Structure 1
Amino acid sequence: MDAQLVVAGNRTRPVHQVVCYRRILVTSTGVWLGKKPLSHALPLLLTQVSLISAIAAITHSLLRRLGQSSVVSQIAAGAIVGFSGAASDRRVAAALFPPQSKIQFDVLSGVGVILFLFMVGVKTDMGMIAKSGRKAAAVGFSCTLVPFVLMSFFGLLLRQSMSVGFREELVYQLAATWARTSYAVLSCVLDVLNLLNSKVGRLAMSATLISEFNKVIATIETALRLGMKAKSQMMGIGAFFSFLALLGFILLVARPVTLWVVRRTPEGEQMKAGHLLAVLSMAFACGLINEVIGHQFATDAFLLGLALPGGPPLGATLDRKFDTMVSGILVPLFMAGADLRMNVHAISDRARCGYVVFFVLLGGVGKVVGVLLPSMYCKVPLRDALTLALMMNTKGIFEVYIVDGQMYAVMVLCVVAFSVVTNFLVKITYKPSMDYLVNKRRTLQHSRMEAELRILACIHTQENVVPIVELLKTCLASYRKPKGSAGGAAETDHIMNAFSFLQQENKGSILVLPFVAISPQATMHDDVCALALEKKASFVILHFHKKMAIDGSMETVAALKNMNINTLNYAPCSVGILVDQGPSTADHLLYHIAVYFLDGADDREAVAFAIRAAENPTTGVTVVRYRLPREWREPCAEEDLDDEMVSEFRMSTIQNHRVTYREEVVKDGQGTIGVIRSSSSYFSLLVVGLRKGKKSPLTEGLSLWSEYPELGALGDVLASTDFGCTVSTLVVQQQTRVGVQQSEGAHRDKELSASLSLRKRSTPS
Structure 2
Amino acid sequence: MSNLGITCYMFLVGLEMDITTPKMGKTSLSVAIVGTILPAFGGMGLYYLALDPVKTKRPATGGFFWAVALTVTSFPNLARILSEFKLLYTDLGKTALTSAVVTDIASWVVLVILLSTVNGREEFYTLIATVLFIAISWFVSRPILCKIIKKIGAKNRSSVEGRYSEMHVFCILSAVLLHGIVTEACGIHSMFGAFMFGLMIPAGELGTKIMDKTEEYVVGILMPPFFLLTGLRTNIVSLATGVSLWVVILVIVVAFFVKIVATFLVCLFLKCPPRDSLSLGVLMNTKGVLAIIVLNEGRNLKALDQQTFSWMIVAILLMTSMVAPLLYLTHKPSRSLKLLYHRNLERIKVDQELRVLACVHSSRNISGLINLLRMSNATRRSSITVYAVHLVELTGRASAMLIFHDKNKTNDVSGQDQSREKAEAEQIVSAFDSLQKNNAEATIQVQLLTAVSPYATMHRDVINFAVDKLVTAILIPFHKKPDAFGRWTDENLQHKQVTDHLLENAPCSIGILVDRGLTAPLYQESSQPDRIHKCHIIMLFLEGPDSREALACAWRMACAPGVFLSVLRFVPEKDAMDMNNGDEDLGDDHDDSEIFSAMFEKEKQLLLDDDYINEFRFRTMNDESITYVEKKVRSGDQIISIIRSSYNDFNLYIVGRGHGMQSPLTEGLSDWNDCPELGLLGETLGSAEFLSAASVLVMQQSAPTHNVSKKNINSGTNKGAFENSTGKSAGPLVNHRKIDDLY
TM-score grouping bracket, smaller chain normalisation = 0.7 to 0.9
What amino acid is the match of 1:573?
C
Deviations 1:47-76 (A, max 9, x none): xxxxxxxxxxxxxxxxxxxxxxxxxxxxxx
**CA 355–643 in structure 1, closer or farther in 2 if over 3 Å, else same:** same
1:642 alignment partner in structure 2: 609
2:629 alignment partner in structure 1: 662
1:251 alignment partner in structure 2: 138
Aligned partner (choices 479, 495, 502) of residue 428 of structure 2: 495
**Residue 727 of structure 1, CA deviation:** 2.9
- Is 1:558 matched with 2:493? yes
Aligned partner (choices 371, 384, 389) of residue 470 of structure 1: 371
- Is 1:605 matched with 2:605? no
What amino acid is the match of 1:496?
V
TM-score where L is the length of structure 2:
0.74
**CA 562–589 in structure 1, closer or farther in 2 if over 3 Å, else same:** same
**CA 408–149 in structure 1, closer or farther in 2 if over 3 Å, else same:** closer
CA–CA distance in structure 2, aligned partners of residues 656 and 210 of structure 1: 62
What amino acid is the match of 2:427?
H
**CA 352–687 in structure 1, closer or farther in 2 if over 3 Å, else same:** farther
**CA 239–706 in structure 1, closer or farther in 2 if over 3 Å, else same:** same
Q: Map of 1:217-366 to 2, 5 A cutoff? A: 217-219=109-111, 221-222=113-114, 225-226=117-118, 235-264=122-151, 265-266=153-154, 269-273=162-166, 275-310=168-203, 312-339=204-231, 341-342=233-234, 344=236, 349=241, 351=243, 355-366=247-258
Deviations 1:170-215 (A, max 9, x none): 3442232123212133335555667666664444322211211221
1:49 alignment partner in structure 2: none
1:27 alignment partner in structure 2: none
Corresponding residue pairs, total: 634
Deviations 1:674-714 (A, max 9, x none): 44454553222221223333444433575687443433343
Aligned partner (choices 347, 361, 380) of residue 460 of structure 1: 361
**CA 753–141 in structure 1, closer or farther in 2 if over 3 Å, else same:** farther
**CA 421–515 in structure 1, closer or farther in 2 if over 3 Å, else same:** closer
Deviations 1:406-461 (A, max 9, x none): 55455444444333333344457645567977977643223334544332222221
CA–CA distance in structure 1, aligned partners of residues 455 and 30 of structure 2: 30
SS at the partner of 2:567? strand
SS at the partner of 1:187? helix
Q: Is the 8 A contact 2:349 2:717 kept in 1?
A: no
Q: Is the 8 A contact 1:270 1:317 kept in 2?
A: no
Deviations 1:120-139 (A, max 9, x none): 3223232443x252333333
- Is 1:142 matched with 2:44? no
- Is 1:212 matched with 2:156? no
What amino acid is the match of 1:325?
Y
CA–CA distance in structure 2, aligned partners of residues 695 and 563 of structure 1: 26
Deviations 1:554-582 (A, max 9, x none): 32223322322333345453221112245
- Is 1:539 matched with 2:452? no
Structure 1: 5+ residue stretches without partners:
1-104, 480-487, 737-742
**CA 723–162 in structure 1, closer or farther in 2 if over 3 Å, else same:** farther
Q: Is the 8 A contact 2:259 2:285 kept in 1?
A: yes
CA–CA distance in structure 2, aligned partners of residues 729 and 417 of structure 1: 54
1:575 alignment partner in structure 2: 510
Q: Is the 8 A contact 1:223 1:243 kept in 2?
A: no
TM-score where L is the length of structure 1:
0.73
- Is 1:423 matched with 2:324? yes
Q: Which has the higher contact order (CA 8 A, sep 6+)?
A: 2
SS at the partner of 1:681? coil
CA–CA distance in structure 1, aligned partners of residues 242 and 89 of structure 2: 43
Coordinate RMSD, CA, aligned: 3.9
CA–CA distance in structure 2, aligned partners of residues 428 and 354 of structure 1: 28
**CA 496–239 in structure 1, closer or farther in 2 if over 3 Å, else same:** same
1:446 alignment partner in structure 2: 347
Q: Is the 8 A contact 1:196 1:202 kept in 2?
A: yes
**Residue 744 of structure 1, CA deviation:** 2.0
Q: Is the 8 A contact 2:682 2:696 kept in 1?
A: yes
Aligned partner (choices 644, 652, 655) of residue 685 of structure 1: 652
Q: Is the 8 A contact 1:456 1:540 kept in 2?
A: yes
Aligned partner (choices 641, 662, 665) of residue 698 of structure 1: 665
SS at the partner of 2:243? helix
- Is 1:124 matched with 2:59? no
Deviations 1:24-65 (A, max 9, x none): xxxxxxxxxxxxxxxxxxxxxxxxxxxxxxxxxxxxxxxxxx
Q: Map of 1:666-745 to 2, 5 A cutoff? A: 666-679=633-646, 681-700=648-667, 702=669, 706-720=673-687, 726-736=693-703, 743-745=704-706
CA–CA distance in structure 2, aligned partners of residues 336 and 702 of structure 1: 61
**Residue 336 of structure 1, CA deviation:** 4.3
SS at the partner of 2:252? helix
What amino acid is the match of 1:568?
L
**Residue 250 of structure 1, CA deviation:** 1.5
**CA 533–638 in structure 1, closer or farther in 2 if over 3 Å, else same:** same
Q: Is the 8 A contact 1:262 1:313 kept in 2?
A: no
